[in-house]
Amino acid sequence: MPVLSVSDRSSFARLRTTDMRARSGPVSVSFCPNEAAPVTRVAYAVGRGVGTAVVRNRLRRRLRAVVAEVSPGIVPGVYLVSASKEAARLGPGELTTVVGDAMRAASRKDGDR
């Protein structure tokens, strides 16, 4: 299943107000189910506190690669993946683990937590 980017305002507004959130280490994820289409859409938030533009863009590319890797095992919907500066120092395996854990935890229904 392909992973698409989030670009519409309504998705960002829903992500801002959702209570389906999870954190795993330096990565936090917000989730909104999307019943209209069984597609995974992801936005990334990597702030200036993470480092220079080079560091932020490298981390964003790494996050995109990790999400593409873990996406077959997650619930389709809209995700916002946020990372702090500690995420830039994680190795590939560690980053995959924390992103996958946070995405799976955020996508669980409220009763499943």
Paired strand residues for 46? 83
- The ranges assigned to domains in the chain are 24-104
Asked if residues 69 and 103 have their Cβ atoms less than 8 Å apart, the reply is no
Asked if residues 56 and 20 have their Cβ atoms less than 8 Å apart, the reply is no
Q: Is 0.95 surpassed by the pTM of this model?
A: no
* Of the options 3.30.230.10, 3.40.50.880, 3.50.30.50, 3.30.499.10, the CATH number for the domain spanning 24-104: 3.30.230.10
pLDDT tens track for 17-76: 899 999 999 999 999 998 777 889 999 999 999 999 999 999 999 999 999 999 988 999
Asked if residues 96 and 70 have their Cβ atoms less than 8 Å apart, the reply is yes
